[in-house]
Amino acid sequence: MPQLKLSYFDMHGGRAEPARLAMAIGGIAFEDHRFAFPEFAEVRKTTPFGQVPVLHVDGTQVTQCDAILRYVGKLAGLYPTDPLQALLCDEVMYVVEEAGVKMGPTFRMTGDEQKAARLALVNGSMPQYLGWLQSQLLAHGGEYFADGRLTVADLKVFVDVRGLNSGRLDHVPTDLVEKVAPALNTHMQRIAQTPAVAAYYAQFAA
């Protein structure tokens, strides 16, 4: 197994969290390099695009959260080997990532500008992508997004839905998911209760 070091903010969410979960579930040893927000200015000087997450694989640095997630998912046995199931998995991951890209600029806004930008998403693209995710989930049996089992796609959506529900995103109502795609909340709760996921978060409980 390669030496792995994953660098990201010290939070239970965001773009590296699905990869952390995948490695924890798969029992893949890795260095969990977490840093506080004020340290980001220094960390980003060491990354190719001034962005995180980055994964070091035997000392080689790689970027792009979904490429990282797919790679560690393969190591952890959480990425389909069947090409069609892998495609379904990738599709879900890209949809979540695209929604994150739309949300990204609003983190650099404040006040009325942020409110207007976030409400435009809440009333526009967010119900659309959440509704699509829900329909995909239901179309594939309602439990998992692909391969009839837990995959990295489930982890990606789990982290996203938990973030939307958390109240950490000002102007995004905490009941948005429940209103527009309640099956995603049921899915989120089921993933949270998966023994390996529950054990992962239990180790952080004070």
Ligand X SMILES: N[C@@H](CCC(=O)N[C@@H](CS)C(=O)NCC(=O)O)C(=O)O
* Side-chain half-sphere exposure of 34, counting CA atoms within 13 A: 9
Q: Which is nearer to ligand X, 104 or 124 (CB)?
A: 104
**What is the smallest separation between the CB atom of 43 and ligand X, expressed in angstroms?**
9
> How do the residues of the chain divide into helix, strand and coil, expressed in percent and rounded to 5?
60, 10, 30
**Under rule CB under 6 A, which residues in 99-128 are in contact with ligand X?**
104
Residue tagged 């952890």 (tokens): 76
Sequence-distant contacts of 96-101: CB under 8 A, at least 24 apart: 96/129, 96/133, 96/156, 96/157, 96/160, 97/65, 97/66, 97/156, 98/129, 99/125, 99/126, 99/129, 99/160, 100/15, 100/160
Closest residue to ligand X in the complex (CB) = 51
Among 14, 26, 127, 173, binds ligand X (CB under 6 A): 14
Q: Which is nearer to ligand X, 64 or 114 (CB)?
A: 64
Q: Which is nearer to ligand X, 93 or 134 (CB)?
A: 93
**Under rule CB under 6 A, which residues in 52-81 are in contact with ligand X?**
52-53, 63-66
Quote the tokens at residue 176. Answer: 């948005």
Q: Work out whether 50 is an interface residue with ligand X (CB under 6 A).
A: yes
Q: Work out whether 51 is an interface residue with ligand X (CB under 6 A).
A: yes
Task: Give the total of residues touching ligand X (CB under 6 A).
Answer: 11
Q: Which residue ranges make up the site for ligand X (CB under 6 A)? A: 14-15, 50-53, 63-66, 104
